[in-house]
Amino acid sequence: MTASPHRASPIVLGAMSFGTLIDEDTSFALLDRFVERGGSWIDTADCYSFWASDTGHGGASEAVIGRWLAARPGVRERIRLSTKVGAEPLWPGSWPAHRTGLSPRAIAQAVEGSLSRLGVDTIDLLWLHQEDRAVPIERTVDGLASLTGSGTVRRVGASNHPAWRIERARAHAAAIGSAPLDALQLNATYLRVRPGTLPPGVVHPFGVLSDEQRDYAAANGLETWAYTPLLSGAYDNAAKAIPEVYDHPGTARRLAVLDRIAHAHDAQRGQIVLAWLLAHGIRPILGGSKIAQLDIALDAAELALAPEEIAELDGAV
């Protein structure tokens, strides 16, 4: 790999399908290109991708990243790793009723496995993958405190959690003097689903970024990461329909504005979506399987939307 001529990219490389739907050679090529283009954050999970694996368990994604790191001496200093715990099935076919969950013991065991597969001694950002109502959030924070206190985990965040549980977690962290949750990872894109619906692939009732979660993050200085920001390619791929949950009058208005601004920038719709998210301080996670897709997404980080364009995109409801 050569040194990147680009500034550090705010876009995250999502590695969910590495080692399952995306073979190892392609995964390595995507990781190489991401670093060449100035990418730093790589996002995975201990449960990726149990639904596509031969064993019914996750771990393939982390293992591929670990082998890539081992084959690229020195690259660990150039990238940051985020992984998630809590959603791995206890046995094949047991998800979602029986998963590892977020007890202190489960978190510690999951992190041990992740460190081994990744071949590292530190995780830069550890996510609580989905809320676990069977465990008081304060107990979960106690488990995280052991890991951040030892330096095994540098930062902690939460994916698919309601704002009130994040607030309780942060209050308990402050009370015991541990590192607070400082990042949220949720589904977010430019289009909005109809009330009472969830996008395809989102199984968590609090998995879609709401106005309340966004306001909470902004008021408290939490980073916000967005998964599936491009609707799996539906913005620009005519062969992929925009999911039915987005079928309402507001979508037509938003797409019309998106088309106008994309044309003005000689860009794709999806690139404007990414630029809009970034303009609002939301870090998109990209999970494409082709180098060209990755390059197009990384190019979007270089797009500068004018304030009036952002206002027009915001105002289309």
Q: What's the pLDDT tens digit per position in 236-259?
A: 999 999 999 999 999 999 999 999
Has residue 291 got a pLDDT over 80? Answer: yes
Q: What is the distance of C-alpha 267 from the center of its chain?
A: 24
Reading the block at residue 20, the tokens are 């399952």
Could you tell me where the DSSP H helices lie in the chain?
24-36, 60-71, 104-118, 137-150, 163-176, 211-220, 249-264, 269-279, 291-300, 307-315
Q: State the CB neighbour count (10 A cutoff) for residue 72.
A: 16
* 214-229 residues labelled b (16+ CB within 10 A) or e (exposed): bebbeeeebebbbbbb
Reading the block at residue 109, the tokens are 């065991």
Query: How many Cα atoms occupy the beta-carbon half-sphere of 231 within 13 Å?
Result: 24
Give 147-204 pLDDT, tens digit per residue: 999 999 999 999 999 999 999 999 999 999 999 999 999 999 999 999 999 999 999 9
Across the chain, mean pLDDT equals 96
Give the pTM: 0.96
- Quickly state the pLDDT bin for 7 (edges 50, 70, 90): low
Q: What is the mean pLDDT of residues 18-25?
A: 98
* Residue 317 in this model has a pLDDT that exceeds 80: yes
Cis status of the peptide bond prior to 162, with omega within 30 of 0: no
DSSP label of 14: E
Q: Domains along the chain?
A: 12-315 (3.20.20.100)
Quickly state the pLDDT bin for 100 (edges 50, 70, 90): very high
Rounded to 5 degrees, φ, ψ at 266 are 50, 50
Does residue 274 have a pLDDT over 90? yes
pLDDT over threshold 80, residue 142: yes
Q: What is the pLDDT of residue 305?
A: 98
Answer for the pair 192, 237: CB distance below 8 angstroms, yes or no.
no
pLDDT digits (tens, 9 = 90+) for 207-234: 999 999 999 999 999 999 999 999 999 9
pLDDT recorded at residue 288: 86
Above 50 in pLDDT, residue 25? yes
**Is the distance from CB of 100 to CB of 84 less than 8 angstroms?**
no
In the structure encoding, which two tokens stand for residue 211, read together?
């106005």
Per-residue pLDDT at 5: 47
Whether the predicted pLDDT of 2 surpasses 90: no
